[in-house]
Amino acid sequence: MRPLVLGIETSCDETGVGIVRGDELLANVVASSMDLHARFGGVVPEIAARAHLEAMEPTIERALAEAGVTLDELDAIAVTAGPGLAGALMVGVGAAKALGIAAGKPVHGVNHLVGHVAADALAGGPIEQETIALLVSGGHTSLLHVRDIDADVVTLGETIDDAAGEAFDKVARLLGLVYPGGPSIDAAAAEGDPTAIRFPRGLTAPKDRERHRFDFSFSGLKTAVARHVERSADAGELSVPDVAASFREAVVDVLVTKAIDACAHTGVPRLLLGGGVVANRRLRELAAERCEAAGVALRVPPLSLCTDNGAMIAGLGARLVARGIAPSAPGFGVESTLD
Ligand code: KG4
Ligand code: ZN
């Protein structure tokens, strides 16, 4: 069975609507409110929610047109129910429920992080196999053990403070680089020396191994960068490229080290990357290098499926429909990251 499913994603600043038939991607339309957040240096929840409200119908219409299908033909609607920004999620869930009632279709509220994993199937990935997934974006940083994508996903660890992308955004601001910080830091780092400054690697000390082996922390790193910038600017010797390269190396080193450790710990020799930070050149490079050395198969879906999008949510919904899993109960709510 290859169900025709429309997926809606509004957990952060991307209004995404995707349509799939089973594992076949028919449409993936994304409207981003990123530009509206630029002057604040990060996503402003209320601005994101308002932008979703305005973008929702045009994005649904574009996706239907792109896929060449009508609402009537759908087997189901899937929507991100969390985790994410509460107000932003509510716009998507409200739209999905309204569509469900209007078109007489079942609605599945799904988990955003598992959606990132489902994206791999749309890129032709071996999704039936167990995998470790490292999901890194502006809103989340999680290491998952995916035993069965539809039924058994274990969170091995997550960030205890900032998300990795958020750390890039905050450090870019400290360095006077434009938002979003990830691409700016990537560009600046190309001219810098990653060994110039030894920045801290959060939660990698022996004492952290017991409780936080697979967790992440980037706030200490951000503070260390702030101190370094202050000191070296006063002395008139601040090198933005060196700070960018050294900071990027610290983040990427921790992400890849913990992901490979998770593969070793679980005995699963497969690693899947997802989230907007996957655009980082050094992350891709170091993950490829270390995975090869460790005998771990690395999967990186195309970037359009790594950043937040509706197709991954539709893909996950199609799997649930195919398995005969019941839709969400009427009145289902959202799971905020702020709860
Ligand atoms: O998944 P995504 O598009 O959306 C949300 O988080 O909602 O991820 C965006 C995040 C931002 O924090 C951005 O700075 C980061 O991904 N990012 C990067 C790069 N490109 C985007 N981080 C590091 N290096 C990059 N090249
Ligand atoms: Zn995401």
Domains for the chain: give ranges and CATH numbers. Answer: 4-119+306-322 (3.30.420.40), 129-300 (3.30.420.40)
Nearest to 253 by CA among 221, 230, 273, 282: 282
pLDDT of residue 270: 96
pLDDT of residue 337: 67
Ligand nearest to the CA of 137: 1
**Mean pLDDT to the nearest integer, 204-225:** 96
Residue 169 pLDDT > 90, yes or no?
yes
Dihedral angle sign, alpha carbons of residues 95, 64, 118, 85: negative
Cα-to-centroid distance, 9 and ligand 2 (Å) = 9
- Which tokens is 176 given? 């006077």
Helix H or strand E segment including 132? strand 131-136
Give the Cα separation of 52 and 31 in Å (integer): 8
Residue 125 pLDDT > 80, yes or no?
no
Cα-to-centroid distance, 152 and ligand 1 (Å) = 27
For the chain, what percent of residues have pLDDT higher than 70?
99
**Mean pLDDT to the nearest integer, 206-234:** 96
Give the Cα separation of 237 and 239 in Å (integer): 6
**Mean pLDDT to the nearest integer, 70-93:** 97
Contact 23 CB / ligand 1 (< 6 Å): no
Ligand 1 atom showing the smallest separation from residue 168 Cα? 14
Residue ID of nearest Cα to ligand 1 atom 2: 276
How far apart, in Å, do the first and last CA atoms of the chain sit?
37
Ligand nearest to the CA of 139: 1
Strand partners, 20: 5, 25
Residues 243 and 192 sit within 8 Å (Cβ to Cβ): yes
Ligand 1 atom showing the smallest separation from residue 169 Cα? 14
Residue 339 pLDDT > 70, yes or no?
no
Of 127-141, 213-227, 283-297, where does mean pLDDT reach its minimum?
Answer: 127-141
Cα-to-centroid distance, 235 and ligand 1 (Å) = 32
User: What's the mean pLDDT when you consider all of the chain?
Assistant: 95
Q: What is the ipTM of this complex?
A: 0.97
Q: What is the DSSP letter of 194?
A: T
